Amino acid sequence: MSQVYKKLKVSDPATLFPMDGNDTYGDCTIAALAHAETVFRGLVGNELIMPSPAVVKLYLQLTNGVDSGMNELDVLNYWQSNRVSGDELIAYAKIDPKNHTEVQQALHLFGGVYLGFQVQQNCQQEFQSHKPWTPGPLTNDGHAVFAVAYDQNGVTVLTWGNTQNGTWGWWDECVDEAYALLPPEAQKPGFAPGFDFAQLKADLAAVAQPSTKPQETWKIK
């Protein structure tokens, strides 16, 4: 994430990763897609941000105008077959969210992880208080975000026009979907230093896990 800020000479997350309508609509899966695209482009020095009205428009297009939320696999399958904001996803693979090594490898190699989690009761309060997400009683809501960094304490994700930390305890309690994404930018110099595109594709396959679990619909405002 620091590389994106450095290359774009922008360090305000609200500028690069806006709310994208997620305070009004349950469009978090599309907002997370838009944030992923901004990160991928930023890694190769290209500042191109999907406009918030376009995020909402795509969400309502895919839900036939109903604010119903969307599941992540439907979004990724659409993105793999259709250009979104000029880019078409080359490939994606499910990774095991309980395997921290795989998660960290995907974050390092691919610039981020597209994920879904069961929302804990203290989710929005901790966000508003600028405190890390911690485990708590789960609600019936889900949320999709794009994770961009990790350390020994936990992960950093993009959501609601800002960055948010989450402890590894929160991750293990709440996260139940995680995907590594391979975008077109991975073919360009600077995306993943030390790896060529063919190696990136092989690495994606290496962290992939077959998905047999029914996918959830993610919607939170």
Check residue 187 and report its DSSP letter: G
Contact 160, 22 (CB under 8 A): yes
Q: What is the per-residue pLDDT across 32-82, written as a single tens digit (0 to 9) for each?
A: 999 999 999 999 999 999 999 999 999 999 999 999 999 999 999 999 999
pLDDT at 193: 59
Residue 211 has pLDDT above 50, yes or no: no
Query: CATH code at 111?
Result: 3.90.70
Q: What is the per-residue pLDDT across 166-200, written as a single tens digit (0 to 9) for each?
A: 999 999 999 999 999 999 998 888 886 556 777 76
221 assigned to some structural domain: no
Q: Identify the domain containing residue 8 by its residue range.
A: 2-209
Q: Phi and psi of 101, rounded to 5°? A: -65, -45
Structural domain tally of the chain?
Answer: 1
Question: Which residue in 57, 56, 47, 40 sits closest to 12, CA to CA?
Answer: 47
Confidence label for 25 from pLDDT (cuts 50, 70 and 90): very high
139 assigned to some structural domain: yes
102 assigned to some structural domain: yes
- The residue written with tokens 């109903």 in the block is 66
Contact 1, 37 (CB under 8 A): no
